[in-house]
Amino acid sequence: MNRKVSVAPMMDCTDRHERYFLRLISKNTLLYTEMVVDEAINRGDKKRLLGFNINEKPVALQLGGSSAKLLAEASKIGEDFGYDEINLNLGCPSRKVEKSKFGACLMKEPNLVADCLSKMQASTNLPVTIKTRIGYDNVEDYENLHNFISILKSTGVKTFIIHARKAMLGKFTPKQNLNIPPLKYEYVYKLKEDFADEEIIINGGITSVDQIKPHLEKTDGVMIGRAAYHTPYMLADIEKEIFGTKEVLSRQDVIEQLIPYVKDELKKGTRLNQIMRHTIGLFHGQTGASYWKRYLSENMCVRDADVKKIDHIMDKIKYNNIDTSVGQSA
């Protein structure tokens, strides 16, 4: 599994439509699902929760939960659906998640997490990974993080994705937790020094290829969050500069190749806005980007969007001077 660059699991963002769209831009970036709760998988509509297009691969399933039994069962189901990796969420800081006892609050219970990871690995042949933070509340010393990773490592887990901020449990909103706690990249670098044989992926506040490159000199991989959603064409820069791909699709080509997928999804009952909302940032920084956003907002990202707008979208790009060239994303 190539984890040199990945896009983080993000609620209300990295659904199957977003992943299909991003895969058109980058063939090599590893993509993650939104977090799916273990109990929902075991008791809910599995196809609705886990179904995805084969063209999204490679794609990893992120699970939330703290029941070793339910997580093990969900891991096996994820494997049966064709995912390439199972990831356990140990980093989400929201109050709702904490009340349900999963996410960053589990950093307080490393032995429980270890039991979950052991049973998850026993249930699947897929790699089981974790995504966590460097600490929580007032527990933010490196020694605690080192000990936490040591306990999880003892289960056989080899890949650790570290958001280089602590989580403020019940004190900040999820948005505040993404920005207010200071980044401590040096903690993640030190983890790689101390756990040289494990795969250490760094996450948090990384928004460009120029920022990715120095992190790759000190860790095994970089996970990008909101920047990949708001400026998705940055993945084209990553594809060329990090993965060495010589040719990538232009922005216009991305939309042209997305349209057949959109039409197919519409026949299945998917609403147009459920797909096209993910493309709003495609022309970020380009001439005509404001027109693109306005056109989508007014015509395609509303609940009762007119399906016929799809057939006219390429003309709108062409005749409103939107820059679709293959170049650096702004």
Catalytic residues: 92
Angstrom distance (rounded) from CA 275 to CA 59: 18
Find residue 30's DSSP bridge partners: 6
Give kind and range of the element (H or E) at residue 46: helix 46-50
Instruction: State the pairing for strand pair 128-136/221-224.
Output: unpaired
Cα 269 to chain centroid, rounded: 25
Please state the length of the chain. Answer: 330
Find residue 7's DSSP bridge partners: 31, 224
Rounded to whole angstroms, what are the CA distances from 272 to 27, 58, 261, 297, 309?
A: 24, 25, 11, 12, 10
Residue type at 304 in one-letter notation: D
Contact 1, 30 (CB under 8 A): yes
Report residue 123 as tokens. Answer: 């249930």
Torsion of CA 289, 293, 294, 298, to 10 degrees: 160
Nearest partner of 135 among 75, 91, 201, judged by Cα: 91
